[in-house]
Amino acid sequence: MNIHEYQAKQLLKEYGISVPEGGVAATPEEALQAAGSLGSGKYVVKAQAHTGGRGKAGGVKVAATPTEAAEFAKQMIGMTLVTHQTGPSGKIVRKVWIEKATDIARELYLAVVLDRTAQKLAVIVSPMGGMDIEAVAASNPELIFRTHVAPGQKLWPFQAQKLLCGCGLNAEQMKAGESIIRNLLRLAWEKEASLVEINPLAVTGAGDLIALDAKMNFDDSALPRQAAIAAMEDREQTDELELEAQKHGLNYVRLEGNVGTMVNGAGLAMATMDVIKMAGAEPANFMDVGGGASAERIAKGFEIILSDKNVNAILFNVFGGILRCDNLATGVVEAAKKVKRQVPMIIRLEGTNVAEGRAILEKSGLNFEMASSMKEAAEKIAKVAAAKG
Amino acid sequence: MSILVNKKTKIVVQGITGREGMFHTEKMLEYGTNIVAGVTPGKAGQTFMNVPVFNNVFDAVRETGAEVSIIFVPARFAADAACEASEAGIRLVVVIAEHIPVTDMLLVKNFLKDRGTLMIGPNCPGIITPEECKLGIMPGYIHKKGSIGIISRSGTLTYEAVHQLTGVGLGQSTCIGIGGDPIGGMNFIDLLKLFAEDDETEAVCLIGEIGGDAEEQAAQYIKDHFRKPVFGFIAGITAPPGKRMGHAGAIISGSKGKASDKIDAMERAGMTVIRNLGDFGAIVAKTLRG
């Protein structure tokens, strides 16, 4: 789960890491008030949406007065921010964060991330803050410093010093940096984050270290015991259909194509999308209905797939295994009857009682064709999709 | 021969009287798996399908000599169950559950490492040595005894691959689902080392997916050390970046974890990469039989 910058900054503050003074606003009036309470100086108005690259998309502006800040807030609130990370549908902006502008001398990068390769938490530091860390990794890999911390292990002072020594900090700043790293590690561990990133961590003109932007991602599996984090969820930042699917225990991701897919198991669901593409058609979605999909769940899945108006055919690929194909077939038939919009279906069933399953489908009068293998299923669906244009 | 488990392996089922535990214990027993004990706290003295139930793994190990455990308790109890098995001297634990928090898994890994316990999973279908030992939730009937080893991050995708292999007459030595989570037990390389030592295994299939770099690491290992033929498949060529595709670990983060990079790494390592899942069995058969 992702959270907004203003929520991340609130967490950083709780963990003793300095962030600029600021406030969150959902209306221009609140923005005026928030800026006004910050005293004189310049203000930075930042659109709150779950994406990077907000600056380039018009989601970050510097105001000279509270009135101007309110003006920018008015422009941003309600806008859909489209960045290189959001895809064409963008992310809706409901709130802005307004903070006092910081006098920036230099920008550093600091993150604690779950390192899958090392199977440990990694601390990553770079003097090249303010830019995409992947771009730094490509252009200046020697300027990225990294160390691993196993659970229960502390970060030793020498490790922190080694991480920070390329950042051109004086003795006092080194100490401050070490404390920030330690606090960030504690935050990541206690709140069960898979990523906490401060980018940039600014060195101010006065020599202080302060977090100017933050991005955090939390382990979904830990949310049931992380109530405070779970409460930060902004459901509006997730696609409507994806939310609906989540509610019913379905894994669904919307894509751009026109061939809907319904599959049991995540790996097989991905591989099914891939074979559709290789057969010359475009998948409209990823959908994993899970192992023990009931008739109701399958019905809901159908409804969700068909809510995407681009879908003009569906490939149903189920490797029943210990699930019985006759049960699955009953589910499909019931589901298709409930959903009004009919599109051609290619159905590939494999597993226990496959003959009974086929018989149920054949009696149903549905507009479908059976396929006996993945290859055949992909070829058939591509033909159907092409015919539909 | 086979790796990790065979028909003699003595197995304890943790959570044997739960809904999942009962269902799968029955299937495993039907397959011929040597289940010697079950564990459910407070139910010692009962039996399930003639398998004695104990209050804890310590009692089960002492009374039956169980050496491998499969865990069917719900996700929030699974980490504790894995550590209990390890402390009781179990050599290998198989964790099926999905949605175990990552911090728990990090702690479990350390706990097990200190005690020399191996782990498969979590979020996986388990292990099967065909016609000997089914230790998991996979459908037994699609498997056939033979000489292909399989290591996979996915469940049903593996069933599909196995089904095709069996269809072309190629049996399997042992099939292992290592799971779809970012933090897990044994990885591709750990298992390749075991397959290298196993005389019965003539070739190995690696079934991977987007996310992380386990496949790239494995490809490098194969290039440097592994001398049997290896086939590779990667799911998620069409997956968009930044979206979790079902499995917690199946996500392209920035430019990392893309299918194309994994496929390139596998090809550079001299592996035979199967791009279209529909061709899986046919390509393996053609390559091995010439």
Q: For residue B1, is pLDDT > 90? A: no
**What pLDDT is recorded for position A19?**
98
Residue A83 has pLDDT above 70, yes or no: yes
Instruction: For residues B245 and B239, give the distance between their C-alpha atoms in angstroms, rounded to a whole number.
Output: 7
Nearest CA in chain B to A251: B246
As a whole number, mean pLDDT of residues A241-253 equals 91
Q: Give B199→chain A minimum CA distance, Å.
A: 29
Residue A324 has pLDDT above 80, yes or no: no
Contact A267, A243 (CB under 8 A): no
Give the model confidence (pLDDT) of A88-139 as tens digits: 888 999 999 999 999 999 999 999 999 999 999 999 999 999 988 888 998 9
Rounded Cα distance, B221 and A168, in Å = 38
Within 79-108 of A, beta carbons closer than 8 Å to B belong to 85, 87
Contacts of B210 in chain A (CB under 8 A): 270
Q: Which amino acid is at B182?
A: P
Using a CB-CB distance cutoff of 8 angstroms, which residues of chain A are in contact with residue B242? 85
Dihedral (CA of B241, B242, B247, B248) sign: positive
Q: Best residue in A241, A319, A353 to probe B by mutation, most B CBs within 10 Å?
A: A319
Closest in B110, B154, B236 to A265, CB measured: B154
The phi, psi pair for A4, rounded to 5°, reads -80, 160
Contact A85 B242 (CB under 8 A): yes
Share of chain A above pLDDT 90, in %: 70
Closest CA to A338 of A348, A326, A330: A330
Return the SS3 of B42: coil
B132-156 per-position pLDDT tens digit: 999 999 999 999 999 999 999 998 8
Option in B237, B245, B279 nearest A286 (CB): B245
| Chain B contact probe: residue of A2, A85, A119 with most B CBs at under 10 A | A119
Tokens 């690259």 belong to A53
What's residue A86's pLDDT?
Answer: 82
Identify which of A114, A189, A267 has the shortest CB distance to residue B155: A267
Q: Hey, which residues 148-177 in chain B have their CB within 8 Å of chain A?
A: 152-160, 163
Q: Strands across the sheet with B51-54, in order?
A: B47-48, B51-54, B35-39, B11-14, B68-71, B92-95, B118-120
Quick check: is A109 catalytic? yes
pLDDT at B29 over 80: yes
DSSP SS3 for B278: helix
pLDDT at A293 over 70: no
Q: What is the pLDDT of residue A186?
A: 96
Q: List Cβ neighbours of A231 (8 Å cut-off, separation of 6 or more).
A: none
| Contact criterion met (CB < 8 Å) for A192 and B101 | yes
How far apart, in whole angstroms, are the C-alpha atoms of residue A317 and residue A293?
Answer: 13
Tell me: pLDDT of A389 over 70.
no
Q: Is A227's Cβ below 8 Å from some Cβ in B?
A: no
Q: Which band of pLDDT confidence, cut at 50, 70 and 90, is reported for residue A302?
A: confident
- What is the Cα Rg of chain B in Å? 18
Left if phi > 0, otherwise alpha if psi is -120 to 50, otherwise beta: which for A58? left
User: Which residue, B114, B120, B153, B163, is CA-closest to B245?
Assistant: B153
E-strand ranges in chain A read 22-25, 43-48, 60-63, 80-81, 91-92, 95-100, 104-115, 120-126, 145-149, 193-204, 209-211, 214-218, 251-254, 259-263, 285-288, 313-324, 345-352, 368-370
In this structure, are residues A216 and A116 in contact, taking their beta carbons and an 8 Å threshold? no
pLDDT tier at A292 (50, 70, 90 boundaries)? Answer: low
Quick one: how many helices (H) and strands (E) in chain B? 9, 14
Who among B107, B248, B277 is closest to A275 (CB)? B277
**How many Cα atoms within 13 Å fall on the side-chain side of residue A328?**
30
Q: Model's pTM, two decimal places?
A: 0.93
Does the distance separating the beta carbons of A374 and B243 come in below 8 Å? no
**pLDDT at position A134:** 86
Which residues in chain B are closer than 8 Å to A215, comparing Cβ atoms? none
Chain A, window 241-270: residues with a beta carbon less than 8 angstroms from a chain B beta carbon: 251, 253, 255, 263-270
Among left, alpha and beta (phi > 0; psi -120 to 50; other), residue A328 is alpha
- Whether B192 and chain A come into contact, CB under 8 Å, resolves to no
Please determine, for residue A332, whether its predicted confidence score (pLDDT) is greater than 90.
no
Closest-CA residue of chain A to B179: A267
Burial bucket for residue A169 (CB in 10 Å: 0-12, 13-18, 19+) = buried
Q: Which two tokens stand for residue A263?
A: 């599959």
Amino acid at A289: V
Enumerate the residues of chain A whose CB falls inside 8 A of the CB of residue B110: 150-152
What percent of chain A clears pLDDT 70, i.e. is strictly above it?
98
Over residues A288-305, mean pLDDT: 81
Tell me what percent of the residues of chain B surpass a pLDDT of 90.
93
Domains recognised in chain A with CATH numbers? 1-19+104-234 (3.30.470.20), 21-101 (3.30.1490.20), 239-388 (3.40.50.261)
Q: Which residues of B touch A325 (CB under 8 A)?
A: none
Residue B58 pLDDT greater than 90, yes or no? yes
Closest CA to A119 of B42, B149, B160, B213: B213
Q: How many whole angstroms separate alpha carbon B45 and alpha carbon A41? A: 76
Q: Does the bond joining A88 to the residue before it have cis omega, within 30 degrees of 0?
A: no
Query: What ipTM was assigned to the predicted interfaces of this complex?
Result: 0.95
Check A6, A43, A109, A252 and give the catalytic one: A109
Q: Is B188 exposed, middle or buried (0-12, 13-18, 19+ CB in 10 A)?
A: buried
Beta carbons within 8 Å of B289's beta carbon, 6+ residues apart: none
- With beta carbons less than 8 A apart as the criterion, state whether A232 and A7 touch: yes
- Phi/psi at A287 (5° precision): -145, 120
- pLDDT value of residue B55: 98
In tens, the pLDDT along A59-69 reads 999 999 999 99
Cβ-contact B33, B136 below 8 angstroms = no
| pLDDT tens readout for residues B156-196 | 899 999 999 999 999 999 999 999 999 999 999 999 999 99
A218 DSSP assignment? E
What is the model's pLDDT at position A349?
87
DSSP A35: H
| Mean pLDDT confidence for A294-321 | 86
Q: How confident is the model at residue A322 (pLDDT cuts 50, 70, 90)?
A: low
Q: Does A116 sit within 8 Å of B248, measured CB to CB? A: no
Cβ contact, residue pair B240, A117, below 8 Å: no
**Residue A210 vs residues A21, A104, A134, A191: alpha-carbon distances, Å:** 10, 9, 22, 21
Residue type, A280: G
A197, A252, A303, A379: which is the annotated catalytic residue? A197
- In this prediction, residue A152 carries a pLDDT of 80
Question: CA-to-CA distance for A189 and A96, rounded, in angstroms?
Answer: 28
Lowest mean pLDDT: which of A17-21, A255-259, B62-66? A255-259
Determine whether the interchain pair A152/B75 forms a contact, defined as Cβ–Cβ distance below 8 Å: no
C-beta separation of A286 from A293 below 8 A: no
Please give the single-letter amino acid code of residue A39.
G
Best residue of B247, B277, B283 to probe chain A, by most A CBs closer than 10 Å: B277
pLDDT at A350 over 90: no
Q: Is B182 or B1 the better-scoring residue by pLDDT?
A: B182
Name the closest residue on chain A to residue B216, using Cα atoms.
A117
pLDDT at residue A366 greater than cutoff 90: no
Kindly state whether B49 is in contact with chain A, defined as any CB-CB distance less than 8 angstroms. no
User: Does residue A252 contact residue A241 with C-beta atoms inside 8 Å?
Assistant: yes
Q: What are the tokens at A282?
A: 């475009």
Q: Which amino acid, residue B233?
A: F
Q: What is the DSSP string of B210-236?
A: SSSSHHHHHHHHHHHH--S-EEEEEE-
Question: Whose structure tokens read 């290591």?
Answer: B151
Q: Do A270 and B236 touch (CB under 8 A)?
A: yes
Tell me: the pLDDT tens digits for A335-345?
888 777 788 99
Question: Using 50, 70 and 90 to split pLDDT, how confident is the model at B281?
Answer: very high
Listed in sequence order, the residues at least 6 apart from A234 whose beta carbon sits closer than 8 Å to its beta carbon are A3, A4, A50, A94
Residue found by looking up tokens 């691993």 in the block:
A148
Q: Hey, what amino acid is at A126? A: S
* B102 with A373: Cβ contact below 8 A: no
Cβ contacts below 8 Å, chain A against chain B, sum to: 175
The predicted-structure confidence for B218-257, as pLDDT tens digits, reads as follows 999 999 999 999 999 999 999 998 889 989 898 888 788 9
> Given pLDDT bands bounded at 50, 70 and 90, which one contains residue B42?
very high
Residue B290 in this model has a pLDDT that exceeds 80: no
Partners of residue A265 in chain B, C-beta under 8 Å: 154-157, 159, 246
